[in-house]
Amino acid sequence: MDHFLYKDGVLHAEDVAVSDIAAQVGTPFYVYSTATLTRHFKLFDDALSGMDHLVCFAMKSNSNLAVLKLMCELGSGVDVVSIGEYLKAKAAGFPGERIVFSGVGKTREEMRIALEGGIRQFNVESEPELAALNEVATSLGMKAPIALRVNPDVDAKTHAKIATGKSENKFGIPIATCRDVYKRAGEMPGIDVIGIDVHIGSQLTQLEPFELAFTKVAELTEALRADGHDIRRLDLGGGLGIPYERSNSAPPLPVEYTDVIRRTVGHLGCEIEIEPGRLISGNAGILVSSVIYLKHGEGRDFLIVDAAMNDLVRPSMYDAYHDIIPVTEPEAGEDQTPMDIVGPVCETGDTFAKARNMPGLGEGDLVAFRSAGAYGAVMASEYNSRPLIPEVLVKGDQFAVIRKRPSFDEMINRDTIPAWL
Ligand code: LLP
């Protein structure tokens, strides 16, 4: 459920007409709903009630400072994957003890900054990384709290580019050999072994892969405890999918997912961490764009809009489906015609939808791409020298620009020309 609904014939973000934001901010832009972000966080938080837990928002899905501040105030933790994300989380107010540092290639410098600034835990993904962290922590006279990210060799049944839990993927330490690594970790002076971490992929629409992975984690917990490790925290990653296509059957609910957690690892008495990103921010955001031209091609029509693949790369990168709706509510029973919805970038891949049925639209009309709050703005680029687009946050009947559109001069002046030119 989200808070982008038609009211009086116009799409609203909560109580604000999207057309009013467009008039003030110009298109294209992203807009996020405070109520949806809050609701989605609480769905997870409530569903884990009664268990010692921390929901750590995966900020890679949406890292705007205002969104982070909101999550922080809701009591969320945060999952970061670079020191840039760590410093942003700190700037938004997250205390170190609510920041989990994931990622396959943390550098020594990143480890040092996080250790000095405070960290809940490092999710360590390889033996060389473990050795480096031990060195850095020892040199600072500290002990780094760690979970080893295990690779459970489970098929997440999602798009190949976002599946992470098979042995051929670059992530984690094979579950079969990780007891030895835990043994070595337990002997390192700069390392404090506290738990196990697993994350098998993103946009999962079935519970079975989670069930398989968490069951393996439960077995490993018992084995490691028998080996003498004090395993007291399980980080079960993120990955629960969202309904992009309203016609498709909906993915499982957060409460069904947390039931799997209770069933598989609930008896172990561990503190539970989860790292949802998309399910919190995905349907909490839309991308608003306006029609530049309607072009009649041979055998097909092209709706050329002012957003492009540099603003929302998911369709061209993952063949992702995004619902695209007019901001002015179509009349009931209004004729629809199939059209290809494309951006102005000079690549055929700059296609958002093919043969999508749309009501009559013309120059200047506004359209909204739904489910664009996760992996939208964060993956944007300035390809084709198109400045990054603004982000707006709505709360009730108020809205604020939370990232402004840079001027062309700002974009141009970021480059420098050497003296010899
Ligand atoms: N934890 C870790 C260690 C992750 O790598 C990820 C996502 C998450 C949590 C959050 O997963 P989520 O709950 O959002 O599924 N750009 C792609 C998605 C990449 C996901 C990368 N890792 C997309 O647009 O679909």
CATH number of the domain to which 301 belongs: 2.40.37.10
- CA 263 and chain centroid, separation: 26
Residues 196, 252, single domain; the answer is yes
In a domain, 421, yes or no: no
Cβ(400)–Cβ(393) under 8 Å? yes
Residue 316: CB within 6 Å of ligand 1? no
Looking at the fold, whether 216 and 259 belong to one and the same domain comes out as yes
Instruction: Mark whether 266 and 338 lie in a shared domain.
Output: no
Segment 47-55 shows an average pLDDT of 98
**Range in 69-73, 154-158, 231-235, 413-417 with the lowest mean pLDDT:** 154-158
Q: Are residues 175 and 277 in the same domain?
A: yes
Give kind and range of the element (H or E) at residue 257: helix 254-265
The whole-angstrom separation of Cα 355 and Cα 349 is 15
Residue 379 lies inside a defined structural domain of this protein: yes
- Residues 28-51, mean pLDDT to the nearest whole number: 98
Identify the band that residue 43 occupies on the pLDDT scale cut at 50, 70 and 90.
Answer: very high
Residues 344 and 267 in one domain: no
Q: Note whether 243 and 270 are same-domain residues.
A: yes
The whole-number average pLDDT for the span 64-72 is: 98
Nearest alpha carbon, ligand 1 atom 8: 238
CA–centroid distance, residue 35 to ligand 1 (Å): 22
- The response to whether residue 314 sits with its C-beta less than 6 Å from ligand 1 reads yes
pTM confidence score: 0.97
Query: Angle CA(147)–CA(151)–CA(152) in degrees, nearest 5?
Result: 115
Q: What gap in Å lies between CA 255 and CA 105, rounded to an integer?
A: 33
The pLDDT score that the predictor gives to residue 76 is 98
322 Cβ closer than 6 Å to some ligand 1 atom = no
Would you say residue 417 lies in a domain? no
Q: Per-residue pLDDT for 168 more than 90?
A: no
**For residue 248, is pLDDT > 80?**
no
Give residue-wise pLDDT tens across range 98-108: 999 999 999 99
321 lines ligand 1 (CB under 6 A): no
**What atom in ligand 1 is closest to the CA of residue 197?**
3
> Is residue 308 a part of any domain in this protein?
yes
142/161 same-domain check = yes
What is the average per-residue pLDDT within 287-305? 95
366 membership: H or E segment, kind and range: strand 366-369
| Ligand 1 centroid – CA 275 distance (Å) | 9
Among 281, 302, 328, identify where a domain stops: 281
CA of 239 to the centre of ligand 1 (A): 6
200 lies in a domain?
Answer: yes
> Cα-flanking dihedrals φ and ψ of residue 187, to 5°?
-95, 0
Residue 165 lies inside a defined structural domain of this protein: yes
Phi, psi for residue 190 in degrees, rounded to 5: -95, 10
> Is the pLDDT score of 31 beyond 90?
yes
Residue located nearest, by CA, to atom 9 of ligand 1: 238
Please identify, by atom number, the ligand 1 atom nearest to the C-alpha of residue 282: 14
| Catalytic machinery residues | 346
Q: Work out the end-to-end distance of the chain between its first and last CA atoms, rounded to an integer number of angstroms.
A: 55
pLDDT digits (tens, 9 = 90+) for 337-370: 999 999 999 999 999 999 999 999 999 999 999 9
Asked if the structure places residue 252 within a domain, the reply is yes
Q: What percent of the chain has pLDDT over 70?
A: 100
Please determine, for residue 414, whether its predicted confidence score (pLDDT) is greater than 80.
yes
Domain that residue 385 falls in? 4-31+282-412
Of the three residues 258, 281, 304, the one that is the final residue of a domain is 281
Which residue among 41, 54, 61, 318 has the greatest number of ligand 1 atoms within 8 angstroms of its CB, and so is best to mutate?
Answer: 61
Of 80, 77, 79, 83, which is closest to residue 95 (Cα–Cα)?
A: 77
* Residues 374 and 397 occupy one common structural domain: yes
Number of domains in the chain: 2
| CB-ligand 1 contact for 165 (6 Å cutoff) | no
The closest residue, in CA terms, to atom 24 on ligand 1 is 375
Residue 195 tokens, joined: 């738990």
Structure confidence at residue 163 (pLDDT): 81
What six digits make up the tokens of 227? 């080996």
Q: Is the CB of residue 16 less than 8 Å from the CB of residue 33? A: no
Residue bearing the bigger pLDDT, 280 or 156: 280
In this structure, is residue 223 part of a structural domain? yes
> Cα(345)–Cα(28) distance, rounded to whole angstroms?
14
User: Among candidates 189, 85, 199, which has minimal Cα distance to 133?
Assistant: 189
Query: Which of 57, 59, 60, 206 has most ligand 1 atoms within 8 Å of CB, for mutation?
Result: 60
CB–CB of 156/164 below 8 Å? yes
Which residue carries 């992203």 as its tokens? 30
Query: Which residue of 101, 150, 203, 278 sits with most ligand 1 atoms within 8 Å of its CB, as the best mutation to test the pocket?
Result: 278
Q: Which of 220, 251, 281 lies at the terminal end of a domain, its last residue?
A: 281
**Which residues are known binding-site members for pyridoxal 5'-phosphate?**
239, 275-278, 375
Q: What's the gap in Å between 234 CA and the centre of ligand 1? A: 18
Nearest Cα neighbor of 166 from 150, 177, 146 is 150
Mean pLDDT, the chain, integer: 96
Residues 135, 268 share a domain: yes
Asked if residue 403 and residue 269 are part of one domain, the reply reads: no
Average pLDDT value for residue range 358-386: 97
CB 57 within 8 A of CB 43: no
At 166 the pLDDT is 80
pLDDT at 247 over 80: no
Q: Do 15 and 114 have their domain in common?
A: no
CATH number for the domain including 226? 3.20.20.10
77 C-alpha to center of ligand 1: Å?
16
Q: How many residues does the chain have?
A: 421
Kindly tell me the burial class for residue 9, based on how many C-beta atoms sit within 10 Å of its own C-beta (0-12, 13-18, 19 or more). Answer: exposed
Enumerate the H helices of 151-238 as residue ranges: 178-186, 208-226
- Mean pLDDT over 172-201 rounds to 96
**Are 267 and 358 in the same domain?**
no
